[in-house]
Structure 1
Amino acid sequence: MPELPEVEALVRFLGERTTGRVVVAADVAAIAALKTFDPPVSALVGRTVTGSARHGKWLDLTLVPDGVPDDVVHLVFHLARGGWVRWSDKASTAIVRPRMGGSGGGRGPALALRLRFDDGSGFDLTEAGTRKSLAVHVVRDPHEVRAIATLGPEPLGEDFTVDVLAGLMAARNQQVKGLLRDQSVIAGIGNAYSDEILHAARTSPFKLTRSFTPDEVARVHTAIGEVLREALATSSGRPAAELKDAKRRGMRVHGRTGQTCEVCGDVVREVSFADRSLQYCATCQTDGQVLADRRMSRLLR
């Protein structure tokens, strides 16, 4: 799943290529991916893109009709686990036939939405895998999308201070891994970067938030900034097609089960859950304690 650094890079990528362009076609292929009906998708046609933005892991294109700057519509979408943006300087003009029940039946990338512009360029929103959760909204205000309206603070914002993080961690006693992934607490961090942040902070993923000392909170805060900024620098300026590979190459523990920890030389280990897994280094993060690799595993604190 793309997280804050990749989504920000996609927003910049799309902004550079679409701002000032007029939408000439907007075709929905996966009806289930479209979560709104008013305004209709057809309202995008004839409008000019005036900018792009990010809200947590959500991408947002702003569009207005010629000569009516107050009539704003937003195309807002969340790529979820298997979604992606596929840009083309010469977009396909083939007829898009709508499908019910998701973005396609197979595991390969299936078209969900196609947008084409007046210069012939455009992009497809696609989704791979059998679990379809890509979400597309056409709204007048992005905060009409509840998941955006309830987002927590941006972790790279100037107002995201150590004290803010300390308050979030003290508000409810939960495992720190879960707190970092909760979009209503902190926006934009997911499974991969929470693994990376906790490794950089030398912290167990299952350490309870109210057990953190002020120094430990500060360490997590520093790790959040360093990990996300490094990933953002790596992603910045890359075409959409290269972002996934760049993300994988930048990981130190996530997705590296069985490989060597670059910090201490220990082996990177994994704990599996029903629908995901986490990776960690026992030497760096858990004082050498090894988590049992079974679903619903718990760490001895």
Structure 2
Amino acid sequence: MPELPEVEALAAFLRRNAVGKAVARVDVAAISVLKTFDPPIVSIGGLSVTSVQRHGKFLDVDCDGLHLVVHLARAGWLRWSDGLPQRPPKPGKNPLALRVHLADGSGFDLTEAGTRKKLAVYVVRTVSDVPGIARLGVDPFAAEFTTERLGALLAAAGRAQIKGVLRDQSVIAGIGNAYSDEVLHAARLSPFHPASTLNDDEVAQLHQVIIDELGTALERAEGLAARDLKDSKRTSMRVHGRTGELCPVCGDTVREVSFADSSLQYCATCQTGGKVLADRRMSKLLK
């Protein structure tokens, strides 16, 4: 799933390549991707791209005051082309969901792999009209994301598992499954640690790690073409997506806890004092 660093990098890419260009037309290949109907998607045809912003994990393309807002969900992506096919795409089972043509022949496709279609596109007059944006929590790069603010958020979460708190977009905007694994590994915290039980030093350390991990990811993605961002993220992970491999810090085996529709990865030596966390899915199979 694209998270804060990748969405910010996509926004920067579009700022370099799309801002100032007029939208020629929009082709919808999967009607299910549209989550709004007023204004209609065709309304952005003929308008110019004036800015591109990020809100959490949402991409906001401002077209003369109308906002084309995209949430790429788990398997969505943006693919840029300097020369898009002019023939309208045929709806079908291919991954193409929506195509935006710019007046100079360039543009981008929104695609989604797999069968679980969660990619979402909105056309709104005000970005707060998108429900997911309206309920976003604090952005990690906002001035108000201080150590004290993080401490208050964790305290308010009570004994909720810290992994879930970091992923909750209404608490902190932009961190997903991958970077929460990386942050907790760097902070040497168990993903199941109760959020409100961190002491002041642990909160301060976690705050710094969040800034450092996301900042490093942003620097790594800076200037990359949209097509290269996925590989850059994948190869940079220390524990996420590396089940069975060796932890680059201590050499222990990276382990996994699986859930119904997701999984987390962690290092027992670095994060849980050597304790192996129960894999919920495997526990059910062994009963």
Instruction: Tell me the TM-score normalized by structure 2.
Output: 0.96
Q: Is the Cα–Cα contact under 8 Å of residues 157 and 165 in structure 2 kept in the other structure?
A: no
Q: Which runs of 5+ in 1 are unaligned?
A: 65-71
The equivalent position to 1:213 in structure 2, one of 193, 199, 218, is 199
Show the 5 A alignment for 1:83-102: 83-97=76-90, 99=91
Q: In the alignment, which residue of structure 2 is the partner of 1:291?
A: 277
1:151 aligns with 136
1:236 matched to 2:229: no
CA distance in 2, matches of 1:198, 1:258: 18
Residue 268 of structure 2 is matched in structure 1 by 282
The equivalent of 1:139 in structure 2 is 124
What pairs up with 1:251-262 in 2 under 5 angstroms? 251-262=237-248
Give the 3-state SS of the residue equivalent to 2:149 in structure 1. Answer: helix
Q: Distance in 2 between matches of 1:214 and 1:225?
A: 17
Partners of 1:43 and 1:49 lie apart in 2 by 13
Structure 1 position 296, deviation (Å): 8.9
Instruction: Write the distance in 1 (CA, Å) between the matches of 2:58 and 2:133.
Output: 8
| SS of equivalent to 2:280 | coil
Pair 1:74 & 2:67 matched: yes
| Deviation, structure 1 residue 265 | 1.0
Q: Are the aligned partners of 1:273 and 1:296 in contact in 2 as well (CA < 8 Å)?
A: no
Tell me how far apart the structure 2 counterparts of residues 248 and 115 of structure 1 sit (CA, whole Å).
Answer: 27
Residue 211 (structure 1) shift:
1.1
CA RMSD of aligned residues (A): 1.2
Where in structure 2 are there 5+ consecutive unaligned residues? none
Give 4+ residue runs of structure 1 displaced > 2 Å after superposition.
Answer: 292-297
Tell me if the contact between 2:66 and 2:124 (Cα under 8 Å) persists in the aligned partners: yes
- Preserved contact between residue 152 and residue 186 of structure 1 (Cα < 8 Å): yes
Aligned twin of 1:250: 236
What TM-score results when the alignment is normalised by the length of structure 1?
Answer: 0.92
Secondary structure of the corresponding residue to residue 142 of structure 2? coil
Query: Does the CA contact (< 8 Å) of 1:199 and 1:285 recur in 2?
Result: yes
CA contact (8 A) 2:268 2:275 kept: yes
Amino acid at match of 1:193: Y
- How far apart, CA to CA, are the structure 2 residues paired with 1:228 and 1:285? 19
- In 1, Cα distance between equivalents of 2:162 and 2:177: 12
Q: Which residue of 1 aligns with 2:47?
A: 47
How far does residue 172 in structure 1 lie from its aligned partner after superposition? 2.1
Q: Work out the CA distance in 1 between the residues paired with 2:194 and 2:282.
A: 16
User: Match of 2:180, as an amino acid?
Assistant: S
CA contact (8 A) 2:161 2:193 kept: yes
Percent identity of equivalent pairs: 60
Distance of 1:166 and 1:57 partners within structure 2: 23
